[in-house]
Amino acid sequence: MHLKFRSLEVFDLFARTENVSETARTLGVSQPAVSQALRDLEAQIGLPLFSRMGRTLSLTPEARLLLPHIGRLRSQMMAVGQQVQSIRDGNVGSLSVACVPPLSLSILPAIVAEFRKQRPNVLLQIRSHTASEVSREVRQERADIGIALLPINASGLHIEPIAQTAFTCLVRHDSDLADRKFLTVEDLRDRCVIVQGSNTVPGFILHRHFKESNVEFANVIEVNRSSISYRLAELNVGIAISHPFVFTSDVPLPLRAIPFRPEIEIVVAFTFLKERIASPHISTFVEIVRRQMTKTADELRNLGLSCRMV
């Protein structure tokens, strides 16, 4: 049996008044259209639902027995329709995001705030992970989308670059190097240099470059978080070589950002599971990320640093 929603709607309204004219007025249709819908439902069910006395139409005992069930069925079908529309409009559901710590602390809060404005009823899960953990979370479907620094293990993943930047030196304003337009290995060779370890993506990129260029520093401190290198540089422990996202802030900065030369590229990228179909939530989130990253790129360029969208 294939019951049409329109027929159920007409029947439910008619049952309240047993008046074809009133039903037609409520639905905004003609009386013949209401009568036809009622005849169609009766034919679909195969039971007499209406008794006719002249031009008067009333419910049969069989119809009254079915009325509660038909009412519930109509309500359920309406709920399904509303849920479908909510899903289509992106007003329900969930979104899980895995992001590397530097971006979790710098640009992600503004992105989440904007996403909540647009989709306030979506359940958000935001988690900070290392780059390798981000790719694992996406691959194992514990995250719908990842944001990481490249390179990462891309097996089974779709990688979509967002922006490209380069390493910078974090120098105190009272340092004798603070007025330099850029800094090189030679400028830092006899200084205490703070870098991330090779088990992190920024550290891996830096150490690979230093090895290929036969670069050695006399005094090195290795850390596993850019926030630690920032704090050490702030305390005048040394000069940190870091990605520049620690500088995306509206507050006065105690450190100056000076480009490192030769330029060593860093790429920020989305990661998605290859087989996964992008939901409206993911599309909205990606759009907001790109918009926020464009703003961040402008801020970094105003500081004299390299950053461009890709």
Q: How many domains does the chain have?
A: 3
Count of residues making up the chain: 310
Q: Is 141 found in the same domain as 104? A: yes
pLDDT value, residue 85: 63
What are the structure tokens assigned to 108, written together? 């992600």
Nearest to 269 by CA among 283, 289, 288: 289
User: Is the residue at 125 inside a domain?
Assistant: yes
Domain that holds residue 28: 5-89
Q: Is 194 found in the same domain as 113? A: no
User: Is the residue at 66 inside a domain?
Assistant: yes
Partners of residue 111 on adjacent β-strands: none
Contact 293, 161 (CB under 8 A): no
Q: Confirm whether pTM is higher than 0.95.
A: no
- The span from the CA of 239 to the CA of 188, in Å, is 8
**Domain-ending residue, one of 25, 59, 89:** 89
Q: What CATH number should be reported for the domain holding residue 9?
A: 1.10.10.10
pLDDT value, residue 251: 46
pLDDT value, residue 1: 54
Can you say whether the dihedral through the CA atoms of 137, 167, 234, 201 is positive or negative? positive
* Strands annotated E in the chain: 50-53, 56-59, 94-99, 123-128, 145-150, 157-166, 168-172, 192-196, 219-223, 239-242, 255-259, 265-273, 307-309
- The span from the CA of 255 to the CA of 253, in Å, is 5
Nearest to 120 by CA among 89, 147, 148: 89
Q: Is 294 found in the same domain as 149? A: yes
Q: Is 155 found in the same domain as 272? A: yes
pLDDT value, residue 145: 95
- 255: helix, strand or coil: strand
pLDDT, tens digit only, all 310 positions of the chain: 566 777 777 888 888 778 888 888 888 888 888 888 888 888 888 888 878 777 777 888 887 887 777 777 777 776 666 556 656 665 668 899 999 998 998 899 999 999 999 998 899 999 999 988 999 999 988 999 999 999 998 888 999 999 999 999 999 999 999 999 999 999 998 899 999 999 999 999 999 999 988 988 889 999 998 889 999 999 999 999 999 988 765 545 789 999 999 999 999 999 999 877 668 889 999 999 999 999 999 999 988 899 999 9
**Domain-ending residue, one of 38, 67, 89:** 89
User: Is the residue at 305 inside a domain?
Assistant: no
